[in-house]
Copies of this chain bind each other. A is one copy, B any other.
């Protein structure tokens, strides 16, 4: 071992397995001027509540600087936990602040839940495809993945258990994005949600419900969250197996890094220990600012974001309809930031991306990266969150001409 690599990483592959990061590197290159990018999937900064944030920072420092700039408790700023508990209660989950822990983005919540639950060789159940960042977070703890199909019906619990045992571990939890999923834009039906909860009961294992896009519904009736359904079935949040990951990143702004996990107190208490051992607490001043913005204008911000992204989704769906050749299919999301397109069999998304950038000035994310099993080469993720509607139309036209 050379001096330049004078360290030995944990296990062989704890960090190296996080290959998803290559995609993130790619995204950085793509989100550049001159390229119409459907790659990022990050919120449109036009929606950021800049003045409200400026006011809230000024006020936090004027009124409570000694608290705002100091260390704080690991569970989160109490008034913010209170707001979040009430927000959850409005959605059918009778949470108290003791059921809430504040995390630096839902991504951190996924990391910490992985740290709490996964031993080397355990099995995590996910849909295929699923959110890349979740795989990246969990992979640090070296699980294997097994695929669930809540919409089509799952394999028997015994079958999952046998596969898990053969790999030397157990089924530890299922991870899903039930609403307007990243990357597919699809929403699980009520029947699929009940299927999932039934599976969780069979295993007596948690479900991690990633609700990152849940608030961004443009049309159709909201479906109850997995957690709300489970609380209704089990009689209380303490008895529920669902850990719900909510965030302000898509509705207010991601730059403050403020999100939350809502779960039974047994889980929250342990997440608090994990936070104490990591960043100690999410920046208090950012939590104070988020509490003020959420209290004063969460509904307005959500309504504005819905209207804004709906126009962009409409532009993308119309352009796909107008320009895509036969053999290309795509999802029609009722909310969120993503359309998922399936190219004709044999067309490779990654190869198409190279041509799209050089020949058409258009970028997107090849779908293969979202598949833990390496399938999905002929799929692509198209995000409409950043480009203006006319750029969306033009970008899809150019992309279609390459296929």
A residues with a Cβ closer than 8 A to B are: 1, 3-11, 14-15, 18, 20-21, 24, 28, 42-43, 45, 48, 50, 53-54, 57-58, 61-62, 65-74, 103-105, 107-108, 111, 115-120, 122, 133, 136-137, 139-141, 170, 172-173, 204-206, 234, 238-239, 241, 249, 253-257, 264, 266-267, 270, 272-274, 276-286
Instruction: Give the Cβ gap from A384 to chain B, nearest Cβ, in Å.
Output: 17
Q: Determine whether the beta carbon of B283 is less than 8 Å from that of A3.
A: no
For residue A1, which residues in chain B have a CB less than 8 angstroms away from its CB?
204
Instruction: Give the Cβ gap from A59 to chain B, nearest Cβ, in Å.
Output: 10
Q: Determine whether the beta carbon of A239 is less than 8 Å from that of B69.
A: no
Contacts A7-B206, A141-B10, A257-B279 hold; do A274 and B61 have CB atoms under 8 A apart? no
Q: Complex formed: what's the CA distance from A285 to B253 in Å?
A: 11
Taking a contact as CB atoms closer than 8 A, the residue among B4, B14, B241, B253 that contacts A238 in the complex is B4
Q: Determine whether the beta carbon of A139 is less than 8 Å from that of B277.
A: yes
Instruction: Give the Cβ gap from A338 to chain B, nearest Cβ, in Å.
Output: 16
Q: Determine whether the beta carbon of B257 is less than 8 Å from that of A119.
A: no
24 contacts between A and B (CB under 8 A): A6-B206, A7-B116, A7-B117, A7-B266, A8-B117, A9-B117, A15-B115, A20-B276, A42-B71, A45-B65, A45-B69, A69-B254, A71-B249, A71-B254, A71-B255, A72-B255, A103-B279, A107-B277, A111-B279, A255-B283, A255-B284, A257-B283, A278-B278, A283-B283
